[in-house]
């Protein structure tokens, strides 16, 4: 039972963790580092609840070995807010539009939205719906999530000085 | 709570020679981890057993997607579906491959999973296979003994079985550049949504000469036989013929006749066979339209 020491960069902070090689990134985040914003849903890469960003790209942390995330920038929901008193625009939009019900899918939804808006700052509704094929929500019916992402897109465009 | 992964020894080689040494040493007891989206799920489900898992993440020179008009396209073992699907040259010269890479799974899985992994798993329903079969793709396999190259058509042996020795790495896929006058099409049906596993796949590539006749044809099918496969009888019928609806209908009938579909949770064999005919005809019609200068 050989433990291994990993050096992970999570939300800009360095972490050292002693763990087993078969542990996934989702398990290490939640159980070893107490970063429980990342959720484990299906464990098969279908539901998107475990979505984190690796070097800015959305991935399923339930299908990523923690060891394979060494040397890469890991962003979890805990790392999005710019300060302890201020939320990220996508987080604010989810609250403002009522896009959260039970909340289990929300961290994955928000991280995927951040990735999508970085690649496509003003997505159409169809692009948003297609872009969320990997994030399941069993509560909201998705409409308010789409509205939140549209609102966040408009705010980010405004902040960037681009016409929305 | 989902099951934990079974225990294994994890290797993260930092050079290709070290990786090949590990494969030579552990062979059948080892599994290569590229994107991990199939492997880790199957290990967790107890379908795949591995004492050693060898990650490709730190080996340099495996994540390339390169295009050259002479050499064609090369896709490294670590290149993700997103890297390949969004590559400008892939979108321009291999639009069917680009489409397959972007519709076969969720955005997250697209960021993780690899084109080469999609092939190496040996799934009959591998979405990347029909587009690569119509382009006569070849695979480069390396081991400590050296490199060999085989055609993708010879690589698939049966469900989950491919022509790869335990000590070999499929280092890259090599895809010749299509003729400028070629047109192609990719057709896919899945039961529930675009991200569901395909129930039927068809792809076609047609080159139409200055005389208006078909100079060469490729038709490939997926999810309707033990392996992804070309339909050679249809290709022979099409070559030299007039690209008209009657010929396409006849070729599509041959595709349906050679398919060996099964009943499973996604579709019945009879429905699959009927859909092979429909999708093959649509693929040929669209490929001809593109070859004549329509929109890709």
pLDDT digit string, tens, across residues B90-107: 999 999 999 999 999 999
Nearest Cβ partner of A48 from B33, B55, B108? B108
Position A33 pLDDT exceeds 80:
yes
Nearest Cβ partner of A63 from B4, B12, B36? B36
Would you report the helix, strand and coil content of chain B in percent, each value rounded to 5? Answer: 35, 25, 40
Kindly provide the b/e burial profile for residues B7-22, where b requires at least 16 CB atoms within 10 angstroms of the residue's own CB: ebebbbbeebeebbeb
Give me the total of CB pairs closer than 8 Å, taking one residue from chain A and one from chain B: 92
Tell me the C-alpha distance between A91 and A89, whole Å. Answer: 5
Tens of pLDDT, residues B269-296: 999 999 999 999 999 999 999 998 854 4
Question: In 10 A of CB B268, how many CB atoms?
Answer: 13
**Which of A157, A80, A142 lies closest to A111, judged by CA?**
A80
Q: What is the pLDDT of residue B68?
A: 94
Tokens of B285: 């019609």
ipTM of the complex: 0.95
Q: What is the mean pLDDT of residues A2-29?
A: 97
Chain B interface residues (partner A, CB cutoff 8 A): 1-10, 12, 33, 36-37, 40-41, 44, 53, 55, 57-58, 82, 105-109, 111-112, 193-195
Position B241 pLDDT exceeds 60:
yes
**Which of B50, B201, B61 lies closest to B134, judged by CA?**
B201
Whether residues A64 and B36 touch (CB distance < 8 A) is answered with yes
Mean pLDDT, chain B, rounded, equals: 95
Q: What is the pLDDT of residue B296?
A: 47
Where does chain B have alpha helices with state H? 16-26, 39-44, 81-85, 88-93, 95-103, 107-112, 115-120, 129-134, 152-155, 232-238, 245-258, 269-291
Tell me the C-alpha distance between B97 and B203, whole Å. Answer: 10
Where are the extended beta strands (E) located within chain A?
4-10, 13-19, 51-54, 57-60, 73-75
Tens of pLDDT, residues B26-45: 989 999 999 999 999 999 99
Q: What is the pLDDT of residue B181?
A: 84
Top residue of B4, B108, B112, B194 to mutate, by most chain A CBs within 10 Å, is B108
Q: What is the mean pLDDT of residues B71-82?
A: 97
CA distances to A147, B86, B221 from B79, in Å:
34, 11, 24
Position A8 pLDDT exceeds 90:
yes
Whether residues A42 and B36 touch (CB distance < 8 A) is answered with no
């Amino acid at each position: 039972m050989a433990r291994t020491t990993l050096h992970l960069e999570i939300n800009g902070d360095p972490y050292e963790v002693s763990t087993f090689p078969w542990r996934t990134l989702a398990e290490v985040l939640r159980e070893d580092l107490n970063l429980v914003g990342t959720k484990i849903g299906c464990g098969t890469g279908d539901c998107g609840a475990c979505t984190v960003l690796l070097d800015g790209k959305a991935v399923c942390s339930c299908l990523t070995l923690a060891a394979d995330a060494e040397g890469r920038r890991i962003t979890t929901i805990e790392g999005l807010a710019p300060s302890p008193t201020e939320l990220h625009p996508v987080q604010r939009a989810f609250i403002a539009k009522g896009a959260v019900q039970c909340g289990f899918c929300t961290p994955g939804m928000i991280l995927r939205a951040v990735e999508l808006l970085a690649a496509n700052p003003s997505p159409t509704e169809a692009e948003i719906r297609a872009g969320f094929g990997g994030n399941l929500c069993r509560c909201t019916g998705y409409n308010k999530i789409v509205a939140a992402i549209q609102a966040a897109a408009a705010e980010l465009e405004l902040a960037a000085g681009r016409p929305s | 709570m989902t099951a934990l992964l079974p225990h294994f020894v994890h290797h993260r080689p930092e050079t290709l020679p070290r990786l090949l040494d590990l494969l030579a040493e552990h062979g059948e007891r080892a599994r290569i981890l590229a994107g991990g989206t199939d492997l880790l799920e199957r290990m967790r489900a107890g379908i795949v057993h591995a004492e050693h898992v060898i990650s490709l993440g730190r080996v340099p020179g495996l994540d390339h997607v390169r295009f050259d008009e002479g050499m064609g396209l090369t896709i490294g073992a670590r290149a993700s579906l997103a890297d390949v699907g969004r590559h400008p040259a892939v979108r321009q010269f291999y639009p069917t491959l680009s489409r397959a890479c972007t519709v076969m799974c969720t955005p997250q899985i697209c960021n993780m999973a690899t084109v080469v992994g999609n092939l190496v798993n040996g799934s009959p329903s591998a979405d990347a296979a029909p587009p690569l079969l119509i382009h006569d793709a070849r695979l480069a396999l390396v081991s400590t003994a050296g490199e060999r190259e085989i055609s993708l058509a010879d690589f698939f042996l049966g469900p989950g079985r491919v022509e790869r020795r335990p000590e070999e790495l499929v280092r890259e896929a090599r895809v010749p550049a299509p003729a400028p006058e070629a047109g192609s099409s990719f057709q896919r049906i899945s039961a529930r949504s675009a991200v569901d596993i395909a129930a039927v796949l068809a792809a076609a590539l047609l080159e139409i000469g200055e005389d208006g006749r078909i100079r060469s044809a490729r038709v490939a099918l997926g999810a309707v036989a033990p392996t992804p496969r070309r339909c050679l009888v249809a290709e022979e019928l099409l070559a030299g013929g007039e690209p008209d609806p009657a010929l396409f209908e006849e070729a599509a009938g041959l595709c349906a006749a050679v398919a060996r579909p099964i009943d499973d949770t996604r579709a019945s064999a009879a429905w699959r066979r009927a859909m092979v005919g429909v999708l093959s005809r649509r693929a040929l019609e669209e490929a001809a339209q593109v070859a004549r200068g329509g929109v890709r």
